[in-house]
Amino acid sequence: MSRGEQSPLAADALAGLWAQPPTLPTKWLYDDRGSSLYDEITSLPEYYPARRETEILRAHAAEIVGATGATVLMELGSGTSAKTRLLLDALAPGSAYVPVDVSAETLGSAAEVISADYPALRVAPVVADFTGELPASPVAGRRLVVFLGGTVGNFADEERAAFLSRLAADLAPGEWFLLGTDLIKEPGRLTAAYNDKAGVTADFNRNLIEVLRSQLDADGLYPDDFDHDARWNPAGRRIEMWLTARRDVDAYFPTLDRRWRLPRGTGLLTEISVKFTPETVAAELTAAGLAPSASWTDPHGDFQLTLAHR
């Protein structure tokens, strides 16, 4: 990097750490270690969303893919692609799978495993940050873009509206979008899902401090100086993950030539996870310029998949 230029993390740190409240874009939680910790989270007893979404896909994947006639399945934030297999199983032979993820390592190994298990499928991974624009598909064909896991809840309300509108604009008429959303439920179950007994979510959250320390060469930053804190914000209809300082934090970022102070008891907002009702999902898709055509929930009514087309 030439003089005066900043890494993307440095630019985000500069914009977020000194804001009130201090915050950082959630994508920095998902480095290779973070992605693998998130993977662990998905099998925790308290973390129901992944299991519920899998139940829905197990019951309805063929119906969903069949309704679209898509030959290209583009997955945003594909991670390890475990749930995607249920959709891939329903694709016609000769179709393509285009996983899109920020973690090159996660993407590479997932793509390799999928290629080996699905010889009739063309696998064309794209390393990209889809919080910007939708990456162009390396393969031609009618797309079904899927965004699973409830990850759309990581976007704040205005960002989410902008993201959905941009996505709608990038789809051609007749192309499809499948969205996974977690539903509002009893707050105790919501907070438990983000505050597991084994402490995996706490490690996942604190990993952000290690990302900052190692990638920006920071002095005076220690993951153990932060408590993991997951709160339900009923007005914002969202879970908020915070890192709360256990003592006065006084760190130095040589690349930014700046001190960062976080007084004991105050927090850094690291992730939000917005929760929905069937009505808010439909309203948001429609406002973005998409036409919701069907939706499915699990028998507990915990999670929802919604199919929409352009």
Q: Is 149 in the site for ligand AVJ (CB under 6 A)?
A: yes
Q: 34, 99, 125, 153: which one contacts ligand AVJ (CB under 6 A)?
A: 153
Which value, in Å, is the radius of gyration of the alpha carbons in the chain?
20
- Say if residues 73 and 141 touch (Cβ distance below 8 Å): no
Question: x/- contact string, 173-212, with ligand AVJ (CB under 6 A)?
Answer: ---------------------x------x--x--------
According to DSSP, the residues that pair with 306 across neighbouring strands are: 179, 295
CA distance 298 to 50: 11
- State the first-to-last Cα distance of the chain, in angstroms, to the nearest integer: 40
Residue with tokens 């990993």: 207
Q: 22, 150, 267, 292: which one contacts ligand AVJ (CB under 6 A)?
A: 150
Candidates 147-155, 158-166, 251-259, 283-291: pick the segment binding ligand AVJ (CB under 6 A): 147-155
- Give the number of other CB atoms < 10 A from CB of residue 132: 9
The residue count for the chain: 310
Tell me the closest approach of the beta carbon of residue 139 to ligand AVJ, in angstroms: 26
Return the amino acid letter for 94. G
CA distance 23 to 177: 30
> 35 vs 68, which CB is nearer to ligand AVJ?
35
Candidates 108-116, 149-157, 217-225, 257-265: pick the segment binding ligand AVJ (CB under 6 A): 149-157
> 232 vs 253, which CB is nearer to ligand AVJ?
232
Q: Is 81 in the site for ligand AVJ (CB under 6 A)?
A: no
What CA dihedral angle connects 215, 217, 223 and 226, to 10 degrees? -100
> 194 vs 260, which CB is nearer to ligand AVJ?
194
Among positions 105-144, residues that touch ligand AVJ (CB under 6 A) are none
The answer for residues whose C-beta is within 8 angstroms of residue 250's C-beta and 6 or more apart is 220, 259, 260, 261
CA distance 205 to 223: 9
Tell me the closest approach of the beta carbon of residue 128 to ligand AVJ, in angstroms: 17
Q: Is 25 in the site for ligand AVJ (CB under 6 A)?
A: no
Q: 35, 54, 68, 151: which one contacts ligand AVJ (CB under 6 A)?
A: 151
Interacting residues with ligand AVJ (CB under 6 A) = 38, 41, 49, 149-151, 153-154, 194, 201, 204, 271, 273
